Structure 1
Amino acid sequence: MASPAQPSVTDALATLAAACPSSPPAAALKALCRASLEASVRAALAAVLPHALAMAVEAPADHPALLYVWRLLRNAAAGCEDNQLALATALASSPLLHPNHLTALLAPPASPACAVAYLQLLVNVVSANEAAAAVLFDPALPVLSAVVASEAARAVDGLIGLVPLFVVRAAVAVPDLLPQSEPWLALVLELVAQLDTEDSLLFTNVVHLVELAADAGVLGAWLAAAKTASPDSAMELLKILDGLVHRAESEGGDVTAFTPLPLAETIMDDLVGDINAMLMPLAAGAPTAGSGSDSDDDDGLTGRIAVNRDVQDSAMALLRLRLRILGMVLGGAEPVLRDAAGSRGLVAGVTMLLKAVHAAQSHTVQARRARNGPDHDGSGIPDGLLAEVMRLVANAAFESPANQDEVRETDGMMVILDCCKLDERNPYLREWALMAVRNLTIDNTANQEVIAELETRGIAPGTDLDSLGIDAEIDEHGKLRVSRRK
């Protein structure tokens, strides 16, 4: 029973139907908003939706009852298919979808809550309704783009996060609606570029959108567009993908679920390009990996393998993201994915990168240990990079004779064997190196012979044994003898 202070739902419907659009009755609308939380009432609202839409168009932006108009429309669309389609059809040709209308809702003295209810209405209209989503999706693009570009919208908590939610709900209803055209891609990339804000709703919904894109096979196109149009967005997309794959790995799920072959090949090609960009300076007269140069200049292997440190931080971050993603994916991949890694030049590239990074770190550690102590190598190589490269090599070699041979022919075996030791800068390097040795030698006689032909020659230079007061030598029988210095 309605309270004495409020009209009944029936009275409110009648009042609303007869109301002048420029002066909507606040009491009637407030009662309807409360009542419309019930599904039976939402179904009865169909007859008055045109009146509510007219009020939304004609009422001044600062009208005290306007918020109830938007909330009534929002509630009417929630899970009511007939209302959803009716509203989608009406909104598609309505001035309510013009960006100027949104601007008016965001400008004082209008209430920001009106803008929130407005976008919530759009989300509700397309949710789980294929017909409504198909009708409203493209007409909504201008106003959604206006929201994302608006400084005023960024100041309204949760408002921009409703934009990717609209796209997600529409794409769930109609998968073919996932953004692929240039205007929609521009909107998606702008949303991704804004992920540095503290808007948790925006982050959650963008992540869900990227999941849908990966599952539908369009994430590769998004990454390709981001590379040229918005490098920051490319970085954020890869971070999200990295997180999704890592979550699948930690939960024992399918790590390849988010990286179908075309997307994996795109990331492989990009990583090969990253590696070539890093290794190109090696051709400019630098000692190659394993050359044994002991020069103590800052222009040695450090400057040639690592990047231009001033301008390439983002390039290094992208390279590491791609390394991590593919390192995880190849660990659970079908043979066709590992075959692609070999045929696209990735295995040769990461083996060269492995050699170069190892040489850069080894060179600078030996050259500077006396001056800086064992905790400073000065190479400019980020901690963990060597282990990430090793992981990819190990997983790419698993049950892949072609990749096993590629690593050997690129002279990677000795470097991998040299990494079978603890390295405080590269957690799990030893474990991944041992895994690489295992995967490289399974059913591969040539690789087994490389290891079998090794001879003991002495203690490797540059160890920390001296600082620990330990002497080590190889006796006449080829045995290692270790003793503490007295």
Structure 2
Amino acid sequence: MAAPMEQMTAARVALDRWVREELEAGKPRGEDGVRRVTELFRQAEYREVADEKIFTLILQILSRAQQEIQTQIAVSEPSAGPWFDLSAECFRCLRNASAQCLPNQDTIRNIGLIEKAITLIGVFITSNTSQESCLVAFRCSLQFLGNVAGGNRDSQNSIWKRAFPHLFLSCLSHDDDKVFAYGSMVLYTCMDEDKIADLLEPANLPLALGVVSAYSTRSDAEWLHLIVTDRFLRCPELVKQMYASHSHADRITLLELILSKVNEKTPLTETELTSLREIAEFLSDCFQKQCRAVLKLAAPGDCEEEEASVVIRLLDLLCEMTSDADHLSCLQCCPGLLDTVVDTLRLTHLAGKQSKNVFTSTHSASLGSDLTHVAVGFKAHLIRLIANLCYKNRENQDKIFHLDGIPLILDSCSIDDNNPFLNQWAIYAIRNLTEFNDKNQELIASMERQGLADTSLLKSMGLHVEERDGKLLLKSVKKT
């Protein structure tokens, strides 16, 4: 360890001499001394022997750089470039020094370097300069904040106190992809459950909304994806506020992010499950309130699709959630959900019969080939949701009987290019509706006898009707 200590001491002495002889004279050139320390800090053994004196020198350099940049910007001097370059090298040095090194992170925070960095970032943001050197310094400062916050709760709190929400909002709206990415990384690193509560304040909600809006234009932004799925979804109240405040387009983005969390292969914690169940109940309520908007799609002259698209995405998400045992039971008990789904199926089925539109069963090239239409698969998903809600649930099975849902499902089951897999979902629905339910079995058997149920459809379900002792029974076809 002697060699690293000797080299660090020599580098500090050289840097101290440069600060006293050159920097104090207002000469920003010669950041080689800082660069030498930057290179040493790339290796863990040098980070481990750093002392406070070298960080005090870096603070002194950044303070002088801030003073010179602000002075030159104030008089519209174009010569701030060397000071931006020097600032960038200082932040590279701090970035390396704080990488997975808790003692250095604490020292850097305790002497005020986090505060100085955020102050300088404010200067970079408001400088209105197009100099590349300013942009590079901005990027390096954000990388430093990300490293000094890594695994260090005190540093995270310090950054949050000084940067929330203005700095994060500036990064989310910045044109530079690296500033955007690094700012998002710092936001994710510093945000824990306690800090999510800060977003519930009306003045701070724009930051949460900004995350989703930014993701809608940069869907490859992995940090934003994690902010929503690993942070926001732990707070159902925040999700509710965001949904209520978003545009239709951003609501769709939010729902897609929730869907990605539901479809994750990794097991969820009990906290995550509890939060997602509350969110599922909220989304059920949203679907019930908005579902009729989808009927606007039956009118050819109505080009307003955004609200209908939200309803369709809500339905997709409810289908996925009810396919998962973790969320199924809470949705099976949601008041009014099953009634609304049956009612919506009835209305869309009727709309398709009254005129030729996207809800009309078709084999034609004009409608059937347009598989990009937002309503494609909507009826099939309604039946899928009915099937899921009735899975091993006698109360919901009986409710479908009283809502005349079984004849509606069977009547909806014609081959339809606009609803891929409709028959398969209908088969699954009938299976779930008749499992250990004699009353529903008897209803379908009587419909077949009266010619009201398609015999071929029953056969495709592996069912047939037989008469025994004057009663009609729905039986499984025995395989030979």
TM-score under structure 1 length normalisation? 0.75
| Matched-pair contact (CA < 8 Å) for 2:315–2:382 | yes
Alpha-carbon distance between aligned partners in 2 of 1:381 and 1:237, rounded to the nearest angstrom: 17
Q: Contact 1:97–1:140 at 8 Å: present in 2 too?
A: no
Deviations 1:315-347 (A, max 9, x none): 12211211111111111235x843544442111
Aligned length: 419
Alignment deviations for residues 99-138 of structure 1 (CA, whole Å, 9 cap, x no partner): 6313257723351221111111111121111222122213
Mapping for residues 7-406 of structure 1, pairs under 5 Å: 9-18=8-17, 19=19, 20=23, 22-23=26-27, 25-43=30-48, 44=50, 46-59=52-65, 60=69, 61-63=80-82, 64-89=85-110, 90-91=112-113, 93-94=115-116, 96-97=118-119, 100-103=122-125, 107-111=129-133, 112-141=135-164, 142-149=166-173, 153-154=174-175, 156-171=176-191, 174-178=192-196, 180-182=199-201, 183-198=203-218, 200=220, 203-213=221-231, 216=234, 218-248=235-265, 257=273, 260-278=276-294, 302-303=298-299, 309-311=302-304, 313-334=305-326, 337-365=328-356, 374-376=364-366, 382-406=375-399
Deviation (angstroms), 1:233: 3.0
- Quick one: distance in 2 between partners of 1:134 and 1:253? 27
1:394 alignment partner AA: A
Counterpart residue identity of residue 289, structure 2: G
Q: Distance in 1 between matches of 2:358 and 2:260?
A: 38
Structure 2 vs 1, CA of residues 253 and 228 (structure 1 numbering), >3 Å: closer, same or farther?
closer
Structure 1 Cα separation of the partners of residues 389 and 446 of structure 2: 24
Secondary structure at the aligned position of 1:238 is classed as: helix
CA contact (8 A) 2:351 2:359 kept: no
Contact 1:404/1:440 (CA < 8 Å) preserved in 2?
Answer: yes
Call closer, same or farther: CA 1:270–1:373 in 2, change over 3 Å: closer
Note if contact 1:398-1:440 (Cα within 8 Å) is conserved in structure 2.
yes
CA RMSD of aligned residues (A): 3.6
Q: Which residue of 2 aligns with 1:476?
A: none
Question: Cα gap change, 1:271/1:54 in structure 2, threshold over 3 Å: closer, same or farther?
Answer: farther
1:455/1:373 CA distance change after superposition, 3 Å: closer
Q: Is the 8 A contact 1:67 1:114 kept in 2?
A: yes
The answer on whether the counterparts of 1:161 and 1:199 sit within 8 Å (CA) in structure 2 is no
Query: Structure 1's 157 and 332: CA in aligned 2 closer, same or farther, altered over 3 A?
Result: closer
Partner Cα distance (1:73, 1:211) in 2: 30
Instruction: Give the distance between the partners of 1:54 and 1:127, measured in 2 at CA.
Output: 24
CA contact (8 A) 1:77 1:125 kept: yes
Q: Distance in 2 between matches of 1:105 and 1:224?
A: 34
CA deviation after TM superposition for structure 1 residue 351, in Å:
0.9
Checking the alignment, whether the CA contact within 8 Å between 1:365 and 1:376 is kept in structure 2 is no
Amino acid at match of 1:443: F
The question of whether the paired residues in 2 share the 8 Å contact of 1:185 and 1:222 is answered with no
158-167 or 85-94: which moved more? 85-94
Conserved? CA contact 1:29–1:69, under 8 Å: yes
Deviation at 1:76, TM superposition (A): 1.5
TM-superposition CA deviations, 1:246-277 (whole Å, max 9, x none): 454xx8999x9596221111111111111144
Structure 1: unaligned runs, 5 residues or longer: 1-6, 282-300, 462-486
Cα drift, residue 160 of structure 1: 0.9
SS in 1 for 2:420: coil
Evaluate the alpha carbon distance shift between residue 273 and residue 87 of structure 1 in structure 2; reply closer, same or farther with a 3 A threshold.
farther
- In 1, the alpha carbon distance for the partners of 2:378 and 2:393 equals 24
Letter matched to residue 214 of structure 2: Q
Correspondent of 1:448 among 430, 441, 445 = 441
Cα distance in structure 1, aligned partners of 2:200 and 2:236: 13
Report the 3-state secondary structure (helix = DSSP H, G, I; strand = E; otherwise coil) of the residue aligned with 2:283: helix
Q: What SS does the aligned partner of 2:180 have?
A: coil
Q: Check whether the contact 1:245–1:329 (CA below 8 A) recurs between aligned residues.
A: yes
Opposite residue 194 of structure 1, the aligned amino acid is A
Label 1:169 to 1:381 Cα distance change in 2 as closer, same or farther (>3 A).
Answer: closer
Matched residue, 2:471: none
Contact 2:62 2:116 in 1 (8 A): no
Write 1 or 2 for the structure with the bigger share of helix: 2
Q: 1:143-177: per-residue Cα shift (whole Å, max 9, x none)?
A: 2222234xxx31x2321122221122123xx4422
Render the CA deviation track for 1:397-455: whole Å, top value 9, x for unaligned: 11122222222222221121234443222111111111111111222232222212114
* 8 Å contact from structure 2 (residues 193, 231) kept in 1: no
Contact 1:192–1:206, Cα closer than 8 Å, also in 2: yes
Q: Structure 1: how far apart are the matches of 2:219 and 2:309?
A: 23
Using a 3 Å threshold, how does the CA distance of structure 1 residues 77 and 233 change in structure 2: closer, same or farther? farther
Q: What CA deviation, in whole Å up to 9, does each residue of 1:189-227 have, x standing for no partner?
A: 112212244573xx21111112213662x1552342342
Q: Is contact 1:105-1:114 (8 Å) kept? A: no
TM-score by length of 2: 0.76
Aligned CA distance change for structure 1 residues 100 and 252 (closer, same or farther; 3 Å): closer
Q: Check whether the contact 2:200–2:238 (CA below 8 A) recurs between aligned residues.
A: no
